[in-house]
Structure 1
Amino acid sequence: MAAKQESDAYRSLHAAFRWQVPEYFSWAEACCGRWARETPEAPAILFESDSGCRAQYSYGQLQRAANRLSNALRRLGVKRGDRVALILPQRFETAVAHIAISQLGGVAVPLSMLFGPEALEYRLQDSGAVLALAECAALPALRSVRAQCPALAHVLVVGECSPGTDEIAWMSALQAEDARFTAERMKAEEAAVLIYTSGTTGPPKGALVPQRALIGNLSGFVASQNWFGFDPADPTRPSQALFWSPADWAWTGGLMDALLPTLYFGRPILAYQGRFDPLKAFELMAAYGVSHTFLFPTALKAMMKAVPRPRERYAGLRLEAIMSAGEAVGDAVFAYCQQELGVTVNEMFGQTEINYVVGNCARFWPARPGSMGRAYPGHRVAVIDEDGQPCPPGVVGDVAVHRRDVHGDPDPVFFLGYWHNEGATRAKYSGDPSDSWCRTGDMAVQDEDGYLWYQGRSDDVFKAAGYRIGPSEIENCLVKHPAVANAAVVPKPDPERGALVKAFVVLAPGHAGNAALVAELQRHVKGRLAPYEYPKEIEFIETLPMTTTGKLQRRVLRELERERALQR
């Protein structure tokens, strides 16, 4: 009876939900402008760096700095629709830049600080960025390719370093400008940001994301954060909230899942400029009283191994919600969050192109360990086959999102298309791009209740001895062993079986890789999964190849095994 009531409530939530997308909508106004008028002294950005620097900025300060930057950009010739590159870490100036570019009518092109010259050159050339805002540490790579980027007319330098002769210092540029600016009136359908995919399955493509996509993100953000900043018993009554995530603001996970939605609700977000470290993560959350967070499964695994009993060690922890995405969380991490952090992790699924479409909300529908959740209100999601038809429950297929919700209204979460790549945009859909299923390229199984169970990228799933193998389940099983910090499973070419299951394993501190441990790990998997799923070969490795967004790059390991097979 309880399960039926929960299912009925979930269906009622979907049936009652209607998108409200105005003709005109701006990130700048929604995330800063209105708060700067209504609550100018409210904290917006709390900042800490690994060097010990700390600061706090209000919404009023954020708006005034954005106004100065908008004036400076306009003076430098940036026009509506121009692309502006941001090579910046988590810091106040990054938030300022997004607000300034949005109210000017420009298109932000966030780029990771980790990009080398080749990666930067490709994106700067492809986007045609006319100006770049770069933090000091990014300057060597940027300077080395600037001559090959003819559209790039100006560089603004952020940080405590001297700009080059043809570069402009951030502070001097802003100090010369007025703190007032009349924002452009932006249509909801206009482009806001050009984000390049992480390239896990090929060359990066630029996803052009409109202003309205932030609205499309909100139902998933609120649900995954257990009614972020509001009392679930009375959604009209605000509650205290402080958000933090190590997710890079140059990516969808940091920008659309953390920075912008937090500012949309007028709450503060902690910006930490430094490399992720599991102990530092706990220290930050305890010291600042972080209530809501987004942590990748790789981060949660590292934290689980580093601090098995966090609440005994960090008295200041007051977490209310943890959202996770990027890879399957797995029941080992799920149980750790429940038992040791006192929070049911809300797994979420989305992409740069269509973000925040599937997930959990522990307060309103029960999470199932290992499941990526159900469609968030406002999104119509299915598992489809090669012909674009929905698969029966229990059958593996491609996770897809329809351009229209259950009421037939357009879903605002969708991207506008791939930058200068109409062919790739059309290939993303099973039919008419305005009224059809959009394929994600991620494989899953859907159960009778609509919960999805991740199986991996379409090119990660493989066959071994005739059996279809999804790597996530095996990886999750391996991580449950105390000797395993992380694991990746790929096919190893085999002349008889077609492929063997092979695992690359990163050891937890204090453990040594040897034949005895290999046998122990194989028995560990055999005793928990199907006999054909245990890894026939295990290789110990110091680190796994990851994208800059924290996603596992299995294709790198697959290619390694293919090359090894050719050499034998």
Structure 2
Amino acid sequence: MAQRSQGDQMYGHQRLHSEFRWAVPEYFSIADACCGRWARDTPNATSILFESDGGCRAQYSYGQLQRAANRLSNALQRLGVQRGDRVAIVLPQRFETAVAHIAINQLGAVAMPLSMLFGPEALEYRLQDSGAVLAIADAGCRATLHAARAQCPALRELIVVGHEALEPGELGWLQLLQAEDARYCPIACRADDAAILIYTSGTTGPPKGALIPQRALLGNLSGFVASQNWFGFDPFDPAKPSDAVFWSPADWAWTGGLMDALLPTLYFGRPILAYQGRFQPQRAFELLEQHGITHSFLFPTALKAMMNAVPRPRGQYRLRLQAIMSAGEAVGDAVFNWCEEQLGLTINEMFGQTEINYVVGNCSRLWPAKPGSMGRAYPGHRVAVIDEAGKTCPPGVPGDVAVHRRDVHGEPDPVFFLGYWGNEAATRAKFTGDLADSWCRTGDTAVMDAEGYLWYQGRSDDVFKVAGYRIGPSEIENCLLKHPGVANAAVVPKPDAERGALVKAFVVLAAGASGTAALVAELQQHVKGRLAPYEYPKEIEFIEALPMTTTGKVQRNVLRQLELQRAQAV
């Protein structure tokens, strides 16, 4: 076994890159690649395994997924949804979420996944900015959507999933689909056509919508397969059958859940578990065992919780895990070692962004991981560390992690986003050089060693992550400023041993306001009720004035450094 592993790794990173070639057709549809072809060839194969924390369980085939998607496509078309229209999806992990993505895609419309954790202001901004014409939402967030809908004139219809009693202005999912034909002729989509609009967190302004083309799924696949130790395949025996089953607690509304879990699993015609419920470490082990999960994407915070709750899992659970990918923040030595010792797996860390996802990482099957490293460029992606002028930094010299528009063979890399929705200036600022032949900057600083491994140094902007969630301070600051007691605010990460970081706000009080404990609680509730729960500041410190540059910009880096020094002094 050790000899085979060494031989696998000798296959080598360099050889993979030199032999790998993209094959992007002129016409490509996510809907057909992830469902249509399987519904034609293996209609009875399982696509979605569903389980809820309330005990409901179900199993759906690719044929069932396609028929439901066809009915929804017909319904959406009848409701006036046209090619290019944005359709919001505000749903948890469930069968209907997958149906919505397939249906919207084969209609030629653009799916816009939104988190159920968003408050009315967060939803309102995204619905307004995108001009979404219709929303498909879980009954649990209908009130929030109604609150946001008043300020979104383009939003004509609201389809509610999981509730029989409808309110005025709502359409019921079941009633809608039952009235439609299970046959539908999909629109032919080009590989460059827009498919998905996902809003990212900004640092100097409101969130930006990254427009993702159909081809981007293909661009994700080399990284997905590698990070999952050749998911569904044996690189040395391609004909060998696979019984891969995937699960990740990552929300399907985010890139991590959608592009790193749901869509690539369906692309390979394998089943994925949709678990509708809160993440709990012991429950996670139960799900892994009960459903025979072989491959997973688990955030470092989830792995830490599982390690603390069940230190020796193989003594309690019969696990079939073959690979785990982790991303969002550094895994750390303790978790890395625990996974090797107690799960018998080497964690494959991964790095990517919504705009250019799944570009760097590890594959313990074919090249050795270096604990603490982000990994190396996945096949098909040309990655470098560049300086401000766009020149490649020598090994060991920090710079901005960047991905080139063209791979090592000079061919276009399909992973790239089309641009930020309605924001050409932001799109242009993301690239160095001519847009058709340029480097795309990630905004993350790292050094690259002589073997091509990247070592993360920190953000080159102010976005930070908390428990796997990407936090943009601007949106939280803007929310705080809407409170009459706040004159100014700056949001930074506060180091935390358990979660990596906590959201902290420095607040300048408005005239007449007092920095009391009651105001702290009021401000926290103010943010929690308008944005996502994970965005509210766990700690608020009142300050006389914020550090500013000569041009009037808040120096968040000064406050971040202050929090770092305080943490080191403890």
- TM-score (norm: length of structure 2): 0.82
**Which residue is equivalent to 1:291?**
294
Query: Does residue 69 of the first structure (1) align with residue 57 of the second (2)?
Result: no
Q: Which of 260, 277, 285 lines up with 1:274 in the alignment?
A: 277
**Which residue is equivalent to 1:541?**
none
Q: How does 1:282-431 map to 2 (within 5 A)?
A: 282-314=285-317, 316-431=318-433
Deviation, 1:134, is 0.5
Query: Does residue 47 of the first structure (1) align with residue 50 of the second (2)?
Result: yes
Deviation, 1:65, is 0.1
Query: Does residue 504 of the first structure (1) align with residue 496 of the second (2)?
Result: yes
Contact 1:201/1:555, CA 8 A, preserved across alignment: no
Q: How does 1:64-463 map to 2 (within 5 A)?
A: 64-199=67-202, 202-314=205-317, 316-459=318-461
Instruction: For 1:45, give the aligned amino acid.
Output: I
Partner Cα distance (1:247, 1:550) in 2: 14
Contact 1:104/1:184, CA 8 A, preserved across alignment: yes
Partner Cα distance (1:258, 1:198) in 2: 21
> Tell me, what secondary structure is at the counterpart of 1:221?
helix
Partner Cα distance (2:532, 2:298) in 1: 14
Deviation, 1:274, is 0.8
Partner Cα distance (1:438, 1:58) in 2: 39
Partner Cα distance (1:181, 1:270) in 2: 27
> Tell me, what secondary structure is at the counterpart of 2:384?
strand
Deviation, 1:459, is 3.4
> Tell me, what secondary structure is at the counterpart of 2:239?
strand
Contact 2:45/2:61, CA 8 A, preserved across alignment: yes
Deviation, 1:384, is 0.8
Partner Cα distance (2:298, 2:320) in 1: 15
Instruction: For 2:35, give the aligned amino acid.
Output: C
Contact 1:132/1:152, CA 8 A, preserved across alignment: yes
Instruction: For 1:266, give the aligned amino acid.
Output: G
Deviation, 1:313, is 1.7
**Unmatched segments (≥5 aa) in structure 2:** 472-492, 501-526, 542-554, 564-570
Partner Cα distance (1:128, 1:54) in 2: 36
> Tell me, what secondary structure is at the counterpart of 1:383?
strand
Deviation, 1:453, is 1.1
Instruction: For 2:398, give the aligned amino acid.
Output: V
Deviation, 1:238, is 2.9
> Tell me, what secondary structure is at the counterpart of 1:47?
strand
Partner Cα distance (2:360, 2:561) in 1: 38
**Which residue is equivalent to 2:61?**
58
Deviation, 1:446, is 0.7
Contact 2:229/2:363, CA 8 A, preserved across alignment: yes
Greater relative CO, 1 or 2 (CA 8 Å, sep 6+):
2
Contact 1:259/1:269, CA 8 A, preserved across alignment: yes
Contact 2:133/2:154, CA 8 A, preserved across alignment: yes
The 3 A distance-change label for structure 1 pair 166 and 210 is same
Partner Cα distance (2:155, 2:107) in 1: 18
Contact 2:87/2:133, CA 8 A, preserved across alignment: yes
Instruction: For 1:414, give the aligned amino acid.
Output: F
Contact 2:117/2:533, CA 8 A, preserved across alignment: no
Partner Cα distance (1:351, 1:239) in 2: 29
**Which residue is equivalent to 1:19?**
22
> Tell me, what secondary structure is at the counterpart of 2:238?
strand
> Tell me, what secondary structure is at the counterpart of 2:174?
helix
Partner Cα distance (1:152, 1:357) in 2: 35
Instruction: For 1:279, give the aligned amino acid.
Output: Q
Deviation, 1:231, is 2.3
Identity %: 70
Deviation, 1:393, is 1.0
> Tell me, what secondary structure is at the counterpart of 2:432?
coil
Contact 2:9/2:365, CA 8 A, preserved across alignment: no
Deviation, 1:503, is 3.9
Partner Cα distance (2:378, 2:559) in 1: 39
Contact 1:133/1:156, CA 8 A, preserved across alignment: yes
The 3 A distance-change label for structure 1 pair 553 and 396 is farther
- TM-score (norm: length of structure 1): 0.82
The 3 A distance-change label for structure 1 pair 564 and 216 is closer
The 3 A distance-change label for structure 1 pair 294 and 507 is closer
> Tell me, what secondary structure is at the counterpart of 1:73?
helix
Partner Cα distance (1:47, 1:263) in 2: 14
The Cα RMSD (Å) is: 3.2
The 3 A distance-change label for structure 1 pair 177 and 24 is same
Deviations 1:526-563 (A, max 9, x none): xxxxxxxxxxxxxxxxxxx9997989999999969949
Deviations 1:415-474 (A, max 9, x none): 00000000000000011111011000011111110001112211369xxxxxxxxx99xx
Deviation, 1:235, is 2.0
Contact 1:89/1:250, CA 8 A, preserved across alignment: yes
Across the two proteins, how many residue pairs are aligned to each other?
A: 495
Contact 1:331/1:370, CA 8 A, preserved across alignment: yes
**Which residue is equivalent to 1:31?**
34
The 3 A distance-change label for structure 1 pair 214 and 42 is same
Instruction: For 1:304, give the aligned amino acid.
Output: M
Contact 1:248/1:549, CA 8 A, preserved across alignment: no
Partner Cα distance (1:111, 1:507) in 2: 24
